[in-house]
Amino acid sequence: MSATMALTGVRMRLALRNRAFVFFSVVMPIGFLFGFFLVFGRGGPDAITYLLGLVLALSVMGSFWGLSIQLVSFREQGVLRRFRLTPIGPGPLLASSIFSNYMLTLPTILVEVVAARWLFGMKNWGNIWSVIVLLTIGSAAFSALGLIVASVTNSMQETQVINNLLWSVFFFLSGATIPLPVFPEWIQHIAFYLPATYLVAGLERALVLHANLVAVSADLLALTASVVVAFEVSRRLFRWEPEQKVSPRAKAWVIVAVIPFLLLGAWESRTNRGVTEMQQIFHTIAPHGLSFTSPGK
């Protein structure tokens, strides 16, 4: 455990010394916040609460990005090789990625909440405990996803391609930028096969509807499953050196990682729970000033 903590500390410092990290993890999310609030949030405090959920979700989701790039560059440069000579296994290295990422996301989240409250006059805090737990588990889930990306890609270019792909899907399809109820209903159902959608949906429920931990338990379950499975898969796929090949058996684990989401998506599709709730929330907020128009459902 002490190795994990020491690694966490050093990796936080390394991240803060990296300009690209500071831009993507601090400047960009806060930019989103002002963009969203100024463009869509004119309608009043409730709209701000709703938008804060989206901004927080985006900040947490972005974490897989920098993390996968850092790990892949460590492997490319031979830094991981030097770690391999020591008695620590992949566990502390991977766990420290998740912890350092979480710690580094906290200040951004704090700035976003403070800005929403004091600059944009947000009144409704939602259920703060649900929000905190969702953000914590959400951060771990997206970090673990970044670890899988780092394990299956071999070069920075490959990592960037996969990251871009994942990011666009999460960005547009999870409801974090474009509210899901704006889309045709079949797309809304597809969205519930993505881990990102559970984070957005959970945060919306916690913030707007004051949902307590029990009420967001399905979303928490989805995200927790994603942390556990993704961490285990990344541990199995972990490579110290670019020359090491991922065995076909290990690759099969990536498919295992997808199973919980297929099950959850199928369940959501049957019960219609998530889709209905997101529509409800959206239609409560939209008349108060969100600039989106819904397809009249």
Partner 1 sequence: MSEVVIQVTNLQKHYGSVQAVRGVSFEVGEGEVFGLLGPNGAGKTSTVEILEGLRHADGGTVKVCGLDPERDSNRLKQQIGAVLQQTSLPDKIRVEEAIRLFAGFYDRRADTDALLDRFQLGEKRRAFYHQLSGGQKQRLALAMALVNDPRVLFLDEPTAGLDPQVRREIYAIIEELRQEKKTILITTHYIEEAERLCDRVAIVDHGQVIAHGTPKELKNRSEGTTRIEVRLGQPEADGTLRNLDAVADIHQFDGTYVLHSTSVPSTIVALVKHLEAEGNELQGLEIATPSLEDVFIELTGRRLRE
Task: Summarize as ranges the residues that interact with partner 1 (CB under 8 A).
Answer: 2-3, 6-7, 10, 13-14, 17-18, 74, 77-79, 81-82, 84-89
Residue 150 or 218: the one with the smaller Cβ distance to partner 1 is 150
- Identify the DSSP state of 24: I
Least distance from C-beta 253 to partner 1, angstroms? 21
SS (HEC) of 277-291:
HHHHHHHHHHHHCCC
CA nearest to 50, candidates 129, 105, 118, 126: 126
Q: Which is nearer to partner 1, 81 or 123 (CB)?
A: 81
**Between 96 and 108, CB nearer to partner 1:** 96
Phi-psi region at 99: left, alpha or beta (left = phi > 0; alpha = psi -120 to 50) = alpha
- Report d(CA 181, CA 249) in Å as an integer: 40
HEC sequence for 152-214: HCCCHHHHHHHHHHHHHHHHHHCCCCCCHHHCCHHHHHHHCCCHHHHHHHHHHHHHHCCCCCC
Least Å distance, CB 249 to partner 1, is 17
Packing angle of the helix pair 45-61, 128-152 (nearest 10 deg)? 30
**Choice between 2 and 293, CB closer to partner 1:** 2
- Please report the sign of the dihedral spanned by the C-alpha atoms of residue 217, residue 219, residue 223, residue 229: positive
CB 8 to partner 1: min, Å: 11
- Nearest approach in angstroms of CB 208 to partner 1 is 41
- Whole-angstrom distance, CA of residue 62 vs CA of residue 171: 9
Considering the complex, state which of residue 7 and residue 194 has its C-beta at the smaller distance from partner 1.
7
Quick one: 21 or 198, whose CB is closer to partner 1?
Answer: 21
Return the number of the residue (1 or 214) whose C-beta is nearest partner 1.
1
Rounded Cα distance between 9 and 237, Å, is 24
